[in-house]
Amino acid sequence: MIGTVQLAAAGPSPLWYATRAGGTVALLLLTATVMLGIVAGGQYTPKRIARFEIGTLHRNLAILTLVFLALHIVTAIADTFVHLTWLDAFVPFASSYRPLWLGLGTLAFDLLLAVLVTSAVRLRIGQRRWKAVHWLAYASWPLALFHGAGTGTDTRLSLQLVLSTGCLAVVVVAVWWRLYRAGPGHRVGRVWAALVVATVPVVLAVFLATGPLKAGWAHRADGAEPSVATVTVDRTTVDRTGESA
């Protein structure tokens, strides 16, 4: 009875749930944004919808992504279970808590901020420079995917695995479709793009199988002995994720 009360007292707070929900929704929205950018880019012209409508949808999805990212970050900092600062939110790999995996998320956020800032001054910096920075949004997606897999304490949940797999499949299919529609020319670049896209699912699958899907990942991801508070119930050390040490 005492052990149950202690575990309940150390259980996740509403902020903890909000952080993970915000991060998951942000990944889904980022996936939709990237997919739309890939499919609607280039010389392809849709028949049943105007290009400006696709552009508006793409922009709105990007804004929604940043909104949920802000929710993800603010709630993570506000939750006192793990000490995170605003510096950790903007400076990659500065956090003492799971520095590598948290740093990937920070880097993805910084790339998206760069896209947002340059979009606001697009007319001043010119189309060419803006487009070069805009490509960073595509680089932020795999960083966000691996950040969620490496940092998220719910990575092993069936629903989370389905969502991550779905996000990966959507982007891979979008890239292959774009390469198929590209037509002749730039053959070398298309081959390299195809190889990179084919590699990402393999790398992610190997990473999940050897890392987050194995017991004890919550501690190994810290890169050291767990520094967060733990609770002992019947001589078993359990962290907030419910995973035995």
| Structure tokens belonging to residue 17 | 């749930």
Q: What is the residue whose two structure tokens read 């949004």?
A: 137
Q: What is the mean pLDDT of residues 214-231?
A: 62
What is d(CA 9, CA 178) in angstroms, rounded to the nearest whole number?
A: 51
Phi, psi of 48 (to 5 degrees): -105, 0
For residue 226, pLDDT beyond 50: no
What is d(CA 164, CA 141) in angstroms, rounded to the nearest whole number?
A: 12
Q: What does the mean pLDDT of the chain come to?
A: 81
pLDDT digits (tens, 9 = 90+) for 132-178: 888 888 889 999 999 999 987 788 889 999 999 999 999 999 988 88
- pLDDT score of 44: 58
**Nearest C-alpha neighbor of 102 from the set 230, 221, 243:** 221
For residue 23, pLDDT beyond 60: yes
What is d(CA 223, CA 156) in angstroms, rounded to the nearest whole number?
A: 19
Phi, psi of 84 (to 5 degrees): -120, 145
| Structure tokens belonging to residue 75 | 């709630």
Q: Is 243 helix (H, G, I), strand (E, B) or coil?
A: coil
**Nearest C-alpha neighbor of 185 from the set 43, 40, 51:** 43
Confidence band of 3 (pLDDT split at 50, 70, 90) = very low
- pLDDT score of 76: 93
| Better-scored residue on pLDDT, 184 or 150 | 150
Confidence band of 63 (pLDDT split at 50, 70, 90) = very high
Q: Highest mean pLDDT: which of 32-41, 81-90, 105-114, 119-128? A: 105-114
| Structure tokens belonging to residue 169 | 């499949």
- pLDDT score of 166: 94
pLDDT digits (tens, 9 = 90+) for 32-56: 999 998 888 765 556 677 777 788 8
- pLDDT score of 103: 94
| Structure tokens belonging to residue 48 | 């049943």
Residue 105 one-letter amino acid: G
Residues 6+ positions from 45 with CB-CB distance below 8 Å = 51
- pLDDT score of 75: 95
Q: Full-prediction pTM beyond 0.75?
A: yes
Q: Assign 3-state DSSP to the chain and report helix, strand, coil percentages, each to 5.
A: 70, 5, 30
The pairing of strands 231-233 and 236-238 is: antiparallel
Strand partners, 233: 236
Provide the residue ranges of all domains of the chain, joining segments of one domain with +.
2-238
| Structure tokens belonging to residue 160 | 């989370």
